[in-house]
Amino acid sequence: MSLMSKTEIAPLVVTPEAIEEAAKLLYIRACKILPDDIKAGFTRLDATETDATAKTILATMIENIGVAERMDNLLCQDTGIPIFNLLIGRNVAVDGFALKEAIARGTARATREHPLRSSVVHPITRKNEHTSCGERVPVINIDFTDADRELRLEMIPKGSGSENGSFLQMLIPADGLAAVKRFVVDRVIQAGGKVCPPTIVGVGVGGTSDLCMHLAKIAATRPLGSRCSDAEGAKLEAQLSEAVNALGIGPQGLGGDSTAFAVHVETAATHITMNPVAVNIQCHSARRASATFTPAGVSIGF
């Protein structure tokens, strides 16, 4: 008796070599080409901004996107902490351990061969190996999807200015949803211009402490225009998007309407005694790149 239910279909095989090449390519590409949804976000903010200084700053950011593409250069000097999301579909054969090592090798090669600034150091000695790698870095998140014979590798160079704008509070049920909203508004005020606005404010609601923080990261790195799949979460992100853009912080914290492209919310079930909320912020250089492996080959996108 076979353990495979569909033995007649050959599984998708993705070699470590292919993953290494993709990891290298995606790190460099993500640093250079901003996703279309973020570019559209700039166009939208530029059309609605009323402050003169803010409009000048947005124009400089938009000019920079063009300069980076024309000169084949990096959008931002911060090459970030490399994050890879690995989404494994059905009927895919991978050697998971080899794959993790391949991602690290591709990251190190991008750093040495382009070259990119290695922004990664030992947390205590502060020693930089000049590979953008270290213990548990690149950060690799693995999840499974129902896509048949498809493996998707997403790359996010997460800049530190915005990553330092990360906050968690283990609120309690008696604090209610009002405290969740207050927490988000107050952390956006606290972050001010330090997180390189206009930003995507990622908010995690629920889960455990670590899951809540991870939800905030998922929210901050989701494409603009996407909505929270939970109806209550979606309501919250609409309310909070309007709220943070009424604070007047503006691009670079120098005043204006364009504080955030959006507030994104992700939710998870939580404990009867818990009401956790987390904020993780993505800067205006909201970089992403992806490679999707199927039996037809590899397609590169955002």
Partner 1 sequence: MTHHTLPTPITEDQVRALRVGDTVTLEETLYGIRDATQIHMFDHGRRTKFNLQGHAVIHTAPNLRKVERVGNNHSGYEAVCVGTTTSDRMERFTRPLMEREGVRIIIGKGGLRDGSLAAFRDLGGAYLAVVGGAAALETTWIEAVEDVDMDDLNPESLYKFRIKGFGPLLVAMDSHGGSLFAKVNEEAARRRQVVLEKLGAA
Q: Write out the residues near partner 1 by the rule CB under 8 A.
A: 53, 57, 60-61, 63-64, 67-68, 71, 73-79, 114-119, 126, 128, 130, 159-161, 164, 177-179, 181-182, 185-186, 189, 192-196, 239-240, 242-243, 246-250, 252-255, 283-285
Amino acid sitting at position 169: Q
Distances (CA, A) of 133 to 103, 111, 130, 152, 214: 10, 9, 8, 21, 20
Considering beta carbons, is residue 16 or 256 the nearer one to partner 1? 256
CA 73 from chain center: how many Å? 21
Considering beta carbons, is residue 19 or 38 the nearer one to partner 1? 38
Q: 15 Cβ partners below 8 Å, 6+ apart?
A: none
- Closest approach, Cβ 250 to partner 1, in A, equals 7
**DSSP 8-state code for residue 80:** -
Considering beta carbons, is residue 48 or 77 the nearer one to partner 1? 77
- Closest approach, Cβ 164 to partner 1, in A, equals 7
Under a CB-based contact definition with an 8 Å cutoff, are residues 274 and 179 in contact?
Answer: no
Distances (CA, A) of 252 to 58, 255, 277, 283: 9, 8, 25, 10
Considering beta carbons, is residue 20 or 163 the nearer one to partner 1? 163
Under a CB-based contact definition with an 8 Å cutoff, are residues 220 and 202 in contact?
Answer: yes
**CA–CA separation, 48 vs 163, rounded Å?**
27
CA nearest to 259, candidates 267, 250, 268: 250
- Closest approach, Cβ 194 to partner 1, in A, equals 4
- Closest approach, Cβ 223 to partner 1, in A, equals 18
- Closest approach, Cβ 191 to partner 1, in A, equals 9
Considering beta carbons, is residue 74 or 153 the nearer one to partner 1? 74
- Closest approach, Cβ 263 to partner 1, in A, equals 11
Question: Residue 146 burial (CB < 10 Å; 0-12/13-18/19+)?
Answer: exposed
Considering beta carbons, is residue 71 or 296 the nearer one to partner 1? 71
